[in-house]
Amino acid sequence: MEGSFELARSLTARQWDAETAAIEMQNTRQGIEITTGDPVWDLAFSLSQKEAFRLQVNSLGDDPKPAIVHNRNPDQGFSARGDGKDLPPSWSSITPLDLVFWLQIILPGAPETAFQVMDTLLKSIGPDGFVDLYSGAGRQPSRWMTQPLLVHLAWMVEQTDASKPLRQIHFAGLMKYLERWFSPVLDRDQDGFPEWDHPEQTGVSTSPAFMQNFSHQRGYSIHNFESPALAAMLYRECMLLLEAAQQTGDEASCEWLREKAAGIKNEFGRFFSGKTSSPHYIDFQTHLSPAGLRIGTLHGKGTINAARDLPSPGRPAITVRLDGRQNALLQVVIKGKSPNNRPASETLPPEAFTWRNGKGFAISSKTFKYINTIQVKGLIENDRVEVTTTDHSAEDISLFLPLWADLLPQEQADRLIEDQMYPRFFREFGLPASSPNHLLPDSNPDTTSRIAWAVMLGYGMVAYSHPLKAAELLTRIMNAIVLQINKNLQFSEFYDTETGLGTGKENSLTGLAPVGFFLQVVGIETLGDSQIVLSGLNPFPWPVTVKYKGMTITRKQEDTEIGFLSGERLTVKGPGPHRISLR
């Protein structure tokens, strides 16, 4: 009690006017002031930067390090244990995808803060290349491999401040991490296209492809899927690390990185079926994208006499719902024919099943062209068994990531944007996780916003010369955010893309306004201390003014005026690109 009193008294005695002035000066130095045709947009961009900076904290424990968290509310942040392991998941489950979104808000204003957080993350690369998916203040690891976005994160920091060459500093560790991704541990058939281990790695765990009831089950594996999003991430990682290897003249690393990137680009067509212009998940063994089929149902033990010839080789999936129990020692025997028309069978033992709330699930390790019988042992009369095949044709927002990675020819990218993404995924308030146009009969679409994904895809739209579509996407996202700002001057964790209603925690990272994406859309490609790069035209009907470290950039529809701290002014016309050196 005495210690608390002394602490409170010392706090009241501090020079608050001076400290407040110092904070305000730092905010002015780090922030970007944006003026658009809508004052609520301006307020949203300002508040978004403020909240993004608040999310940077130090991890708890004996060795505190810079980290970020999803949200900071009054009921969070205290660890009774002292090591952070009892903090809520929002303080531990920061993924590289979250960090990409965070960086595009705080950069270019705070490269030092960005460097500290990214340097800490890259130092966590293990001797075998393993990096945990989760980072944050709580230090509660996931035990799953990280998303392959680490090189991209380092590159984002370098684009703002070239004096912080993270790719060079951590080159050896980044090579080990990529080598692990392409090793037999994660690329099980060694074809150059690794597989995810768990839905949480994908960033779209509610995708209908991953049977969302099991998305948080630690033992549930999805390594039967090859993902175009994972391939796109790895391709970009290899290309960005190749730049660093070329700068140092490391020919052995250059050759390995070129080989991996070329293998992905040359064989990326495997993800496209002849029926559509959009990519799909494929089976890692057959490299086909079969739709999910219902094979049969059974109550209790017994045999399903399917006698079913499948249109394409499929992988049986067994779902068990128990009557009043949490798990069961069951055994399932599948008999039929293999894709090459030879007799095939597989026995799924009890340990093949994962359980959650009385529901069990297992996927066959073999593919079948013909399923004859499915024998079930170890269940009682009121237990229910349903047999389907895994649905590789199910769709979610991550399938469009090749646009961001610059993996597609221009004509193919045009079709993907115009014929698939725009008519099927664009909703009134942004992009949802999955399209309601393609779902199994008993599936529910996840219509909540995925702003981090939308931002990455928006960058791809700008790169493939679709600025108007990118501006429309940004406008739809901002419409949802404006609803919340007008309501309570706060952001929501998620927004419903059909109604715009906000849900989840207040002022969470995933619901902040995408400041960096806005700058890209209006054509401010690079904004830093050494240079400004302008490209394209302002797609909005009103001029946009951006103030940063004494500079003022006014983007009109046809020209741009730049005012410098010295009083000098410069006007550039046309789409450019225009590179203005500041040194």
176 shares its domain with 300: no
Residues of the chain with pLDDT under 70: 27-28, 211-221, 274-276, 436-445
Q: Domain boundary at 356, 389, 422, which?
A: 389
Q: Are residues 150 and 17 in the same domain?
A: yes
The single residue listed with the structure tokens 């949203």 is 44
Residue 316 has a pLDDT of 94
Separation of alpha carbons 361 and 214, rounded Å: 8
404 belongs to a structural domain: no
DSSP state of 14: S
27 and 163, same domain (yes or no): yes
* Of 337, 365, 389, the domain-final residue: 389
Q: What does the pLDDT read at residue 438?
A: 46
pLDDT value of position 446: 78
Q: Is residue 67 part of a domain?
A: yes
Integer Cα distance of 66 and 50 in angstroms: 18
Residues 300 and 159 in one domain: no
Within this chain, do residues 162 and 34 fall inside the same structural domain, yes or no?
Answer: yes
> What are 386-409's pLDDT values in tens digits?
999 988 888 899 999 999 999 999
The answer to whether position 35 is within a domain reads yes
Say if 228 falls within a structural domain: no
Q: Which DSSP helix (H) or strand (E) runs through 79?
A: none
Report the pLDDT value the prediction gives residue 497, as an integer from 0 to 100.
94
Within its chain, how far is the Cα of 549 from the centroid? 31
Rounded distance, CA 537 to CA 517, Å?
15
> What is the per-residue pLDDT across 293-343, written as a single tens digit (0 to 9) for each?
999 999 999 999 999 999 999 999 999 999 988 889 999 999 999 999 999
177 and 326 both lie in a single domain: no
Asked, for residue 546, whether it belongs to a domain, the answer is yes
Q: Which residues contact 195 (CB under 8 A, 6 or more apart)?
A: 186, 187, 188, 222, 223, 224, 225, 226, 227, 230, 284
256 belongs to a structural domain: no
- Structural domain boundaries, residue 104: 2-181
325 assigned to some structural domain: yes
The pLDDT of residue 452: 96
For residues 177 and 30, state if they share a domain: yes
CATH of the domain at 334: 2.60.120
Number of domains in the chain: 3
Domain contains 426: no
- Residue 517 has a pLDDT of 98
Mark which of 332, 366, 389 sits at the end of a domain. 389
Give the three-state DSSP class for 107. Answer: coil
From the CB of residue 133, how many other CB atoms can be counted at a distance below 10 Å? 21
Q: 496 near 85, Cβ under 8 Å?
A: no
Nearest to 483 by CA among 88, 40, 138: 40
